[in-house]
Amino acid sequence: MTPLTLHRFWSIIEESQSSLLLNMDDHALERWLVRELRTEQPLDHSETDAVSQYIRTRLPLIREIAMAQ
């Protein structure tokens, strides 16, 4: 993932309502975040896979951030 993609990804987390992030199961949250990121910038198949994998490894952190908001 490029630094720009990472920055945009974490911006989406910060800008999202915490209840939205906390009320989805892991798979739905992953799909939603990928979809949100793709609306901001086009992603090819390998970038989409990398983003999905990144999200899966960061789900506990994402939920912790949402709870702290």
**Domain range annotation of the chain:** 3-68
pLDDT computed for residue 34 by the predictor:
96
Asked if residue 41 has pLDDT above 90, the reply is no
Residue 67, Cβ density class (10 Å: 0-12 exposed, 13-18 middle, ≥19 buried): exposed
pLDDT computed for residue 24 by the predictor:
96
Give the residue-averaged pLDDT of 47-67. Answer: 95
Asked if residue 55 has pLDDT above 90, the reply is yes
* pTM greater than 0.85 (yes/no): yes
- Is 55:63 a contact under the CB 8 Å cutoff? no
When pLDDT is cut at 50, 70 and 90, the band that residue 19 belongs to is very high
